[in-house]
Amino acid sequence: MTPPRFGAAATFVALLLAVPAAAQMPDPRIMSGQIIPSPELPTGTVTVRVIRQTIMNVAPGIDVALHGAGDVRHATTGPEGRAEFSGLPAGARVHAVAVVDGERLQSIEFDVPAAGGVRTMLAAGVGVGQMVNGGPAPSAAAPAGPVASAPPATPGQLAFANDTRFAVEFQDDTLAVFYLLDIVNPSSGAVALSQPLVIDLPAEASGAGLLEGGSPLATVKGRRVTIAGTLPSGVTTVPVAYRIESWGGTWSLSQTFPLPIVDVALVVQKVGGMRLSSPSAPTVRDTQLQGAAFIMGTGASVPTGTPLQLTLSGLPHRSRMPVYVTLAIAGGLAAWGVWMAMSQSATSAAAQAARRRELERRRDRGLAALAALERRHVARALQEDDYIEERRSLVEDLERVYSELDDRGGLPGGGQGLAA
Per-residue pLDDT of the chain (420 residues; tens, 9 = 90+): 566 665 544 444 554 443 333 333 456 777 788 888 777 789 999 999 999 887 667 899 999 999 999 999 999 999 878 999 999 999 999 999 999 999 999 999 999 999 988 989 999 988 888 888 655 555 444 443 443 333 445 566 899 987 789 999 887 678 899 999 999 888 778 889 999 999 999 999 999 999 887 899 999 999 999 999 999 988 899 999 999 988 888 999 999 999 999 889 998 988 888 999 999 999 898 887 666 788 989 887 899 989 999 999 988 865 455 555 566 676 666 666 666 666 555 456 677 667 666 766 777 777 778 777 787 777 777 778 887 888 888 788 777 666 655 554 544 444 444 333
For residues 333 and 224, membership in a common domain is answered with: no
Q: How far is CA 97 from CA 90, 127, 141, 346, 347, in A?
A: 20, 16, 23, 97, 95
For residues 362 and 380, membership in a common domain is answered with: yes
Query: Which residue segment(s) compose the domain that 332 sits in?
Result: 321-408
Task: Name the domain boundary from 87, 115, 149.
Answer: 149
Q: Is residue 245 in a domain?
A: yes
For residues 262 and 327, membership in a common domain is answered with: no
For residues 278 and 331, membership in a common domain is answered with: no
For residues 271 and 404, membership in a common domain is answered with: no
Alpha carbons 310 and 253: distance in angstroms, whole number: 5
pLDDT of residue 204: 93
Q: Is residue 13 in a domain?
A: no
Closest CA to 47 of 90, 96, 85, 95: 85
pLDDT of residue 214: 85
Q: How far is CA 377 from CA 273, 386, 391, in A?
A: 17, 10, 10
pLDDT of residue 17: 44
Beta bridge partners, 93, equal 111
For residues 304 and 175, membership in a common domain is answered with: yes
Task: Name the domain boundary from 254, 285, 313.
Answer: 313
Task: Name the domain boundary from 258, 293, 313.
Answer: 313
Please, is 185 exposed, middle or buried when counting C-beta atoms within 10 Å of its C-beta (0-12, 13-18, 19+)? buried
Q: How many folded domains does the chain comprise?
A: 3
For residues 168 and 188, membership in a common domain is answered with: yes
pLDDT of residue 50: 93
Q: Are 359 and 405 in contact (CB under 8 A)?
A: yes
For residues 197 and 289, membership in a common domain is answered with: yes
Q: Is residue 155 in a domain?
A: no
Backbone CA torsion sign across 8, 48, 58, 54: positive
For residues 403 and 335, membership in a common domain is answered with: yes
Compute how many other C-beta atoms are within 10 angstroms of the C-beta atom of residue 91. 10
Q: Is residue 4 in a domain?
A: no
First to last CA, the chain: 41
pLDDT of residue 384: 80
For residues 249 and 299, membership in a common domain is answered with: yes
Alpha carbons 302 and 388: distance in angstroms, whole number: 47
DSSP state of 28: H
Q: Is residue 417 in a domain?
A: no
For residues 214 and 167, membership in a common domain is answered with: yes
Q: Are 93 and 68 in contact (CB under 8 A)?
A: yes
How many distinct helices (H) and strands (E) make up the chain? 5, 26
Q: Is residue 290 in a domain?
A: yes
Query: What pTM does this model have?
Result: 0.52
Alpha carbons 28 and 31: distance in angstroms, whole number: 5
DSSP state of 261: B
